[in-house]
Amino acid sequence: MRSQQMQYPSGPKGSWFTGMALELIKDPKKFFHKYAQEYPEILRFRSFYNHFYVISKPEYLQHVLQKNAKNYVKGMVYQQIKLVLGEGLLTSEGDYWLRQRRLAQPSFHRNKIAGFFELMKESTNDIILDWERERGKELDVYPEMMRLTLDIIGRTMLSTHESSHADTVKEALEKTLFGTQRRIESPIKWPFWVPNQINRTIQSGKKDLDQIIYGIISAKRKGQNRHGDLLDMLMDAEDVDTGERMNDQQLRDEILTIFLAGHETTAIVLSWALYILGSHQEEYQKLKKELAQVVANETFSITHLTELTNLTNFIHEVMRMYPPAYGIGRLALDKDQLGPYPLKAGANILMSIHHMHNDPKFWGDPEIFRPSRFENFDFRKNAFRYMPFGGGPRICIGNNFAMMEMQVVLVMLLKAFSFEYIQKTPPESIALITDRPKNGILLKVN
* Site residues (vs ligand HEM, CB under 6 A): 74, 89-90, 101, 257-258, 261-262, 265-266, 269, 324-325, 328, 388-390, 394, 396-398, 401-402
Tell me how far, at minimum, the Cβ of 265 lies from ligand HEM, in Å: 3
Write phi, then psi, for 336 (nearest 5 degrees): -155, 180
CA distance 388 to 326: 8
Nearer to ligand HEM, 199 or 266 (CB): 266
Q: Return the number of the residue (198 or 403) whose C-beta is nearest ligand HEM.
A: 403
Minimum CB distance to ligand HEM, residue 238 (Å): 19
Cα distances from 324 to residues 254, 346, 407, in angstroms, run 21, 27, 17
Closest to ligand HEM by CB, 127 or 234: 234
E strand or H helix at 258:
helix 248-279
CB-wise, 81 or 294, nearer to ligand HEM?
81
Q: Which residue is nearest to ligand HEM (CB)?
A: 398
Contact criterion met (CB below 8 Å) for 318 and 294: no
Nearer to ligand HEM, 79 or 196 (CB): 79
* Nearest residue (CB) to ligand HEM, 116 versus 341: 116
Cα dihedral 56/258/151/266 (nearest 10)? 10
Write down the least CB distance from residue 97 to ligand HEM, Å: 6
Q: How far is the CB of 383 from ligand HEM (least distance, A)?
A: 12
**SS3 of 40, please?**
coil
Nearer to ligand HEM, 105 or 281 (CB): 105
Q: Kindly state the smallest distance separating residue 438's Cβ from ligand HEM, in Å.
A: 18
CA-closest candidate to residue 276, choices 326, 317, 325? 317
Q: In this structure, what DSSP letter does residue 67 have?
A: I
Concatenate the DSSP letters of all residues of 278-338 into one string.
Answer: HH-HHHHHHHHHHHHHHTTTSPP-GGGGGG-HHHHHHHHHHHHHS-SS-EEEEEESS-EEE
In the bound state with ligand HEM, the residue whose beta carbon lies nearer, of 257 and 429, is: 257
Residue 197 exposed, middle or buried by CB count within 10 Å (0-12, 13-18, 19+): exposed
Q: Which is nearer to ligand HEM, 278 or 324 (CB)?
A: 324
Closer of 43 and 261 to ligand HEM (Cβ): 261
Sort 129 into a burial class: Cβ within 10 Å, 0-12 / 13-18 / 19+.
Answer: exposed
β pairing state of 348-352 and 50-55: parallel
438 Cβ contact list (under 8 Å, min separation 6) = 427, 428, 429, 430
Distance between CA 51 and CA 346 in Å, rounded? 10
Q: What is the rounded CA–CA span in Å between residue 115 and residue 141? A: 27
Q: How far is the CB of 434 from ligand HEM (least distance, A)?
A: 8
Note whether 246 and 238 are within 8 A (CB): no
Task: State in angstroms the smallest separation of the CB of 289 from ligand HEM.
Answer: 25
CB of 114 to ligand HEM, least distance (A): 14
Strand bridging mode 435-437 / 429-431: antiparallel
Nearest approach, Cβ of residue 246 and ligand HEM (Å): 14
Find the DSSP H helices in 140-247. Answer: 141-158, 166-185, 197-221, 230-236
* Nearest approach, Cβ of residue 437 and ligand HEM (Å): 14
Burial class (CB in 10 A: 0-12, 13-18, 19+), 169: buried
Q: Specify the residue, 179 or 388, whose C-beta has the smaller distance to ligand HEM.
A: 388
For residues 235 and 51, what is the distance between their CA atoms, to the nearest angstrom?
42
Minimum CB–partner distance for residue 394 and ligand HEM (Å): 4
Name the helix (H) or strand (E) containing 271: helix 248-279
